[in-house]
Structure 1
């Protein structure tokens, strides 16, 4: 890397997770950050933290040798990379693009091949846990990369996470993230059913969850999604929305089909999330699917 570019880090995508991730990297690393998003509000907040603002994607790509993406999904990642003046068009030998979005495994591996043809490196580093974890810098990050690339990007990733794991070559971070979310969505469906059935049968829902947390059904989902969102029926729009969950479970179902597995549990979660979105919960925090069950029976 050239001396001046080595010190500057690019970051594109400053949404629910991207903004706090970028802020933690910026504050803790002491590095110069050049950032871009279509929304001006997070740009101005990060500028107050010392980030430099870029006018567009191309200007970030031209200025840095290390660039992070945090976008809503595969469609946006593909658009940013394959636009006429996008990241692929600007890619050069030695440049590293780290995709922290959740995106399809096939797309990730295909983009990696296309960047490699230009001498650049494209790797995946999707994140798990909540927005609060992103703010606190305690995410879990799953990386798909070679050992050398992992060694280069890990110090910055550690500013945003309490756990950073090299899962294997490119695409393997996405596999773990997609499976993680698939299990989470199915668990939240089970929690919604337990709360609805238990509550209608006469048990205090708080007692139900607190007691379950002491037994074999305890889980991260129960203690976070269950107790902090489903119990108080609090589903803010600024959390992980139902439509994003639908996107992620679709990646799991696509991957299942690719490897010849019938994922009935994931399909059930997808169906319930779709019904929840159709009922007006598309932007709401995805555990809002319990509202469908609340409306049934007594």
Structure 2
């Protein structure tokens, strides 16, 4: 069994997962990379996002593995990443394997490190490189990417990540990209919840939400969340389907709480956010854009108390 040559000057790129974020990332790869790009997704309609590019469609992940030197993944979570990488028909099982796999998904830290260890046994280098920012940023190729990899591997993949990102940060060894991404996401979710609460309080006290956001944005309360989630979603109360839903929030929060437990740190603020977004999903906004948490707050629909707070 052989791996793709590490000395390839212009690697063939494989891309698996053409979802909300994966499709625009793959499109940018196909438009900017000077070599071949071959893509796979289980949904045939997903390939419409690649029209007008040189990207070729693969019928199976095995076909990607047989042709690509560096494979990028954009998948729902750790179980899917493990299945695609080290499952029975995974990228690491064929007669010809990629030399590098770069996971752009958000998974647990433990999952990233476990997959990396299994791939290393068959000679495949692995980097966890979860992405941050919005779908619009993905379309513009202006994502922020947090990478966990050896210094040598980071140097190799950084130019390729530049096709889809304006900021690429080497965070440490494998798993460290996921650490930073989970922290980033938890801060966004928690800040969104806090901003929603303040918008409701301000409006009930006589300040119009637009005025509140304008005024706060000129002071120390300004933030990315205010300028994006606040202005674009909570102010117009626009929470579309097929966006980052409360269910996705709960997945990421679960990963962060798992990490907090592993490192022996209480995470009470994140636990509160978990309860709020669970209530958002269960009380009418399932599948909708997660800043819909403001609707829960506006209706005084308090989340269920934590188990430790329940009467005995």
Q: If the TM-score is normalised by the length of the shorter chain, which range does it land in?
A: over 0.9
Q: Say yes or no: does 1:108 pair with 2:112.
A: yes
Q: What's the offset of the Cα at 1:237?
A: 1.8
Q: Indicate the SS of the match to 1:38.
A: coil
In the alignment, which residue of structure 1 is the partner of 2:235? 231
1:150 to 151, 154, 161: 154
Q: Is the 8 A contact 1:91 1:120 kept in 2?
A: no
In the alignment, which residue of structure 1 is the partner of 2:201? 197
Q: Indicate the SS of the match to 1:48.
A: coil
Structure 2 Cα separation of the partners of residues 176 and 238 of structure 1: 25
Q: TM-score with structure 2 length normalisation?
A: 0.91
Structure 2 Cα separation of the partners of residues 92 and 146 of structure 1: 23
Q: What's the offset of the Cα at 1:37?
A: 0.6
Greater share of helix: 1
Structure 2 Cα separation of the partners of residues 213 and 158 of structure 1: 31
Q: Which runs of 5+ in 1 are unaligned?
A: none
Q: Indicate the SS of the match to 1:284.
A: coil
Structure 2 Cα separation of the partners of residues 204 and 141 of structure 1: 36
Q: What's the offset of the Cα at 1:31?
A: 2.2
Q: What's the offset of the Cα at 1:50?
A: 1.9
2:42 to 38, 42, 55: 38
Q: What's the offset of the Cα at 1:4?
A: 7.9
Q: Indicate the SS of the match to 2:167.
A: strand
Q: Which runs of 5+ in 2 are unaligned?
A: 302-312
In the alignment, which residue of structure 1 is the partner of 2:277? 273
In the alignment, which residue of structure 1 is the partner of 2:268? 264
* Mapping of residues 160-199 of structure 1, within 5 Å: 160-199=164-203
2:100 to 84, 96, 99: 96
Q: Is the 8 A contact 2:10 2:35 kept in 1?
A: no
1:134 to 130, 134, 138: 138
Q: Say yes or no: does 1:117 pair with 2:121.
A: yes
The CA RMSD measured in Å over matched residues stands at 1.8
Structure 1 Cα separation of the partners of residues 35 and 253 of structure 2: 35
